[in-house]
Structure 1
Amino acid sequence: MLKTASTFLTFLIIFSLSSCSTSNKIAALKPEPDDASPLLYDNVASFINLPISVKIKDIENQTNTLLNGLIYEDNTIEDDDIEMKVWKLAPISISNENGKLKTVLPLKALVKYRIGTKTMGVNMYNVKEFNLNGVVTLLSDVGLTNWKLHSKTELKSLDWNESPTMTVFGKNAPVTYLINPAVKLFRSKIETKIDAAIEKSMDFKPNVLAALEKICTPFQMSEAYQSWLQVVPIEVYSTDAKLKNDTFLMDMGMKCTMETLIGQKPESKFNASKIILKPITKIPNKISATIAAVSTYAEATKIMTKNFAGQVFGSGSKKVTVQKVDIWHKNDKMVIALDLLGSVNGTIYLTGFPQYNEQTKEIYFDKLDYALDTKNKLMRTANWLAQGLILRKIQQTCRYSIVPNLEEGKKSMAAYLKNYSPMPGVFVNGKMEDIQFNSIQLTNKAIIAFIKINGVVNVSVDGFK
Structure 2
Amino acid sequence: MTKKHSFLSLLLLILLQSSCATSTKIAALKPEPDDASPLTYDNTPSFINLPISIKLKDIEYQTNTLLNGLIYEDNDITDDDIEMKIWKLAPITIENAKENDAEKIKTVLPLKAVVKYRIGTEKLGVAIYNTKEFYFNGTVTLISEVGLSNWKLNTKTVLKTLEWNESPSMMVFGKSVPVTYLINPTIKLFRSKIERKIDEAIAKSMDFKPNVLEALDKICTPFQTSEAYESWLRVVPIEIYSTAAKLKNDSFLLEMGVKCNMETLIGQKPESKFDASKIVLKAVTKIPNKVTANIAAVSTYEEASKIMTKNFAGQEFGSGSKKITVQKVAIWHKEGKMIIALDVLGTINGTLYLSGFPQYNELTKELFFDKLDYALDTKNKLMRTANWLAQGLILKKIQESCRYSIIPNLEEGKQNMMPYLKNYSPMAGVFVNGKMDDIQFQKIQLTNKAIIAFIKVNGTVSVSVDGLK
Same fold (TM over 0.5): yes
1:76-102 CA distances to partner (integer Å, 9 max, x unpaired)?
778998754332211111111011110
Change (3 A) 1:445 1:96: same
| Equivalent residue, structure 2, for 1:89 | 89
Aligned mate of 1:148, from 124, 149, 152: 152
Partner Cα distance (1:67, 1:218) in 2? 40
Query: 1:266 aligned to 2:270?
Result: yes
| Equivalent residue, structure 1, for 2:313 | 309
| Equivalent residue, structure 2, for 1:329 | 333
| Equivalent residue, structure 1, for 2:63 | 63
CA contact (8 A) 1:230 1:260 kept: yes
- For 2:359, the aligned partner's letter is Q
Aligned mate of 1:13, from 5, 10, 15: 10
Query: 1:452 aligned to 2:456?
Result: yes
Aligned mate of 1:227, from 227, 231, 238: 231
Residue 416 of structure 1 and its aligned partner are, at CA, apart by: 2.4
- For 1:87, the aligned partner's letter is W
The residue correspondences of 1:46-125 to structure 2 (distance < 5 A) are 46-73=46-73, 84-98=84-98, 99-111=103-115
- For 1:64, the aligned partner's letter is N
Aligned mate of 2:135, from 101, 124, 131: 131
Partner Cα distance (1:328, 1:50) in 2? 40
Specify the SS of the correspondent of 1:273.
helix
- For 2:210, the aligned partner's letter is P
CA contact (8 A) 2:135 2:170 kept: no
CA contact (8 A) 1:89 1:106 kept: yes
Query: 1:31 aligned to 2:31?
Result: yes
CA contact (8 A) 2:72 2:197 kept: no
Query: 1:408 aligned to 2:405?
Result: no
- For 2:297, the aligned partner's letter is A
Partner Cα distance (1:35, 1:80) in 2? 77
Residue 462 of structure 1 and its aligned partner are, at CA, apart by: 3.2
Change (3 A) 1:83 1:459: closer
1:275-306 CA distances to partner (integer Å, 9 max, x unpaired)?
11111111111111111111111111111111
Change (3 A) 1:428 1:123: closer
Change (3 A) 1:179 1:313: same
Of 97-106 and 65-74, deviating more is 65-74
Aligned mate of 1:352, from 346, 350, 356: 356
Specify the SS of the correspondent of 1:187.
helix
The residue correspondences of 1:297-446 to structure 2 (distance < 5 A) are 297-446=301-450
Residue 24 of structure 1 and its aligned partner are, at CA, apart by: 2.3
1:144-203 CA distances to partner (integer Å, 9 max, x unpaired)?
0111111100010111123336799xxx98632211233111111111111111111110
Partner Cα distance (2:149, 2:218) in 1? 24
TM-score, reference length from structure 2 = 0.91
Aligned mate of 1:205, from 206, 209, 227: 209
1:199-225 CA distances to partner (integer Å, 9 max, x unpaired)?
111100111111111111111111111
Change (3 A) 1:124 1:249: closer
Query: 1:183 aligned to 2:180?
Result: no
Partner Cα distance (1:167, 1:295) in 2? 82
Q: What stretches of structure 1 of length at least 5 have no aligned partner? A: none
CA contact (8 A) 1:336 1:350 kept: yes
CA contact (8 A) 1:210 1:422 kept: no
Change (3 A) 1:112 1:438: closer
Residue 447 of structure 1 and its aligned partner are, at CA, apart by: 0.5
Partner Cα distance (2:451, 2:283) in 1? 37
CA contact (8 A) 1:211 1:426 kept: no
Change (3 A) 1:427 1:80: closer
Partner Cα distance (1:77, 1:269) in 2? 53
CA contact (8 A) 1:290 1:453 kept: yes
Residue 35 of structure 1 and its aligned partner are, at CA, apart by: 1.1
Partner Cα distance (1:193, 1:118) in 2? 32
Aligned mate of 1:194, from 187, 191, 198: 198
Residue 229 of structure 1 and its aligned partner are, at CA, apart by: 0.8
Change (3 A) 1:17 1:279: same
Change (3 A) 1:204 1:126: closer
The residue correspondences of 1:237-316 to structure 2 (distance < 5 A) are 237-316=241-320
- For 2:422, the aligned partner's letter is K
Residue 351 of structure 1 and its aligned partner are, at CA, apart by: 0.5
Specify the SS of the correspondent of 2:187.
helix
CA contact (8 A) 1:214 1:422 kept: no
Of 123-132 and 406-415, deviating more is 123-132
Of 61-70 and 375-384, deviating more is 61-70
CA contact (8 A) 1:210 1:423 kept: no
Of 425-434 and 94-103, deviating more is 425-434
1:24-53 CA distances to partner (integer Å, 9 max, x unpaired)?
221110000011122111111000011111
Partner Cα distance (2:109, 2:6) in 1? 117
CA contact (8 A) 1:82 1:182 kept: no
CA contact (8 A) 1:262 1:299 kept: yes
Change (3 A) 1:349 1:54: same
Partner Cα distance (1:167, 1:449) in 2? 81
Of 7-16 and 182-191, deviating more is 7-16
Partner Cα distance (1:175, 1:358) in 2? 84
Residue 410 of structure 1 and its aligned partner are, at CA, apart by: 1.2
Change (3 A) 1:382 1:126: closer
Specify the SS of the correspondent of 1:323.
strand
Specify the SS of the correspondent of 1:291.
strand
- For 1:226, the aligned partner's letter is E
Specify the SS of the correspondent of 1:412.
helix
1:426-447 CA distances to partner (integer Å, 9 max, x unpaired)?
3322221101110000011110
